Amino acid sequence: MNDFNIALALAGATVLLIGMMSRLLNRTILSPPLLAFTLGVLVGPVLGLIDPQAWGNNFLILEEAARLTLGVSLMGIALRLPQRFVFDNARALTVILAIGLPLMWLVTSGLTLGFLDVGLITALMFGASVCPTDPVVSSSIVTGGVASDNLPGRFRHTLSAEAAINDGLALPFVMLPILLIKSADTALSQWLIHVLLWEVVVAVALGALLGYLAGTALRAAEARELIDQPSFLVTTLALTFLALGAGKLLGTDSILAVFVTGIAFDQQVGGKERSEEGNVQEAVNLLFTLPVFILVGLMIPWSRWLDLGWTGPGLALGVLALRRLPVILLLRPAIPPWRELPVALMAGWFGPIGVAAVFYAMLVQRETGNELVWVCASLLMTSSLVIHGITAAPVAKYYGRRYG
């Protein structure tokens, strides 16, 4: 109980202080996720004030916390994007996701085989876990005064949309090697039928239906004056929970379902309502995203990192340098929002690894018992938090001075 109260007070104080200094922090090299993660490291592994091992199944706790955080973040992105952005830029997003995401998976898996003494299946599971661009960390890069004043909207919106969609679309890449471990004979049929057709396609259909019905119901309730302001302010958060819960109960990709729900809902509302939804959801994002970074900081496997030796930092630097940038530069002629070289370089660099990698690493650990994926994913996430966090504001300011 003491651990719970310490964690509760710590999370509240962190959100309160960072929220009050958000404008100042956005102009420095210290991102809110990095600060929250550092605080978790201090009170956990360094000072020993909280011991997550005493909580029981701490891996399951972290997996569900990551899933909830991703859901809230994806709903926030759906409401923050220009209303028809996903549809108007469908071609560019298709290229990034249908070609870029598999290439990033294969590059990361290849680097893993080169640096670590692991089998192909483990390399593929790890590569899939860290290949999606994290929506939580990327939101801290593309939002705030510095980003909006210096970075072009086509870069910020496309990066946000990519991060939101590829979180859900990474699931098939994670599940394929898992299914190969469980039953190689039936893996392909299970992957095609259960993963692609059911978990992905049904998630999209479910999200579209929930978002459309919720938006239509909200407009009807407002027209008949059945809703007041306090009720309206919780609509998007309740919709997030509904999509996450319903998607999980039906065995679908609940992460993808949330984003599709937000996009479908967003098409039904507009003007004053849309602005208010975005403000509320961004406030909720701050409340949910920072505590999960504290939790990750509490649970990082320091000793297992040391066991990796020099190959751990080598893998981290190799993945951060080669997983994304060469792929985006290769594909930039087919991505109109990122076609200009300076924008493509930023888009290639800012593909952070964060909560999504934690979620998929926990999924791998639960399904296969392979903790090495979590060890490596946590190292990559920490490296990304530091390197992408400290470069976000300086790169944005440089771009604003040079090309703004």
H-helix or E-strand spanning residue 34 = helix 32-41
Question: What's residue 263's pLDDT?
Answer: 94
Q: Are 252 and 198 within 8 A, CB to CB?
A: yes
Task: Indicate whether 272 pLDDT > 50.
Answer: no
DSSP of 206-251, one letter per residue? HHHHHHHHHHHHHHHHHHTT---HHHHHTHHHHHHHHHHHHHHHTT
Judged by DSSP in three states, 105 sits in helix
**Cα separations in angstroms, 304 against 6, 25, 378:** 26, 32, 10
Q: Cα separation of 205 and 195, whole Å?
A: 14
Domain with 381 in it? 2-403
* Domain count within the chain: 1
Q: Cα separation of 8 and 10, whole Å?
A: 5
Question: What's residue 89's pLDDT?
Answer: 94
Question: What's residue 16's pLDDT?
Answer: 79
Task: Indicate whether 153 pLDDT > 90.
Answer: no
Q: Cα separation of 288 and 155, whole Å?
A: 25
CATH number at residue 172: 1.20.1530.20
What is the tens place of the pLDDT at every residue in 74-131? 988 898 888 889 999 999 999 999 999 999 999 999 999 999 999 999 999 999 999 9
Q: What is the CA radius of gyration of the chain?
A: 20
Q: Cα separation of 213 and 221, whole Å?
A: 12
Window from 16-25, 118-127, 204-213 with minimum mean pLDDT = 16-25
Q: Cα separation of 102 and 149, whole Å?
A: 33
First-residue to last-residue Cα distance in the chain:
52
**Cα separations in angstroms, 238 against 232, 345, 352, 380:** 10, 38, 28, 32
Q: How many CB atoms lie within 10 A of CB 226?
A: 11
What is the tens place of the pLDDT at every residue in 68-89? 999 988 988 898 888 889 999 9
Q: Are 155 and 398 within 8 A, CB to CB?
A: no
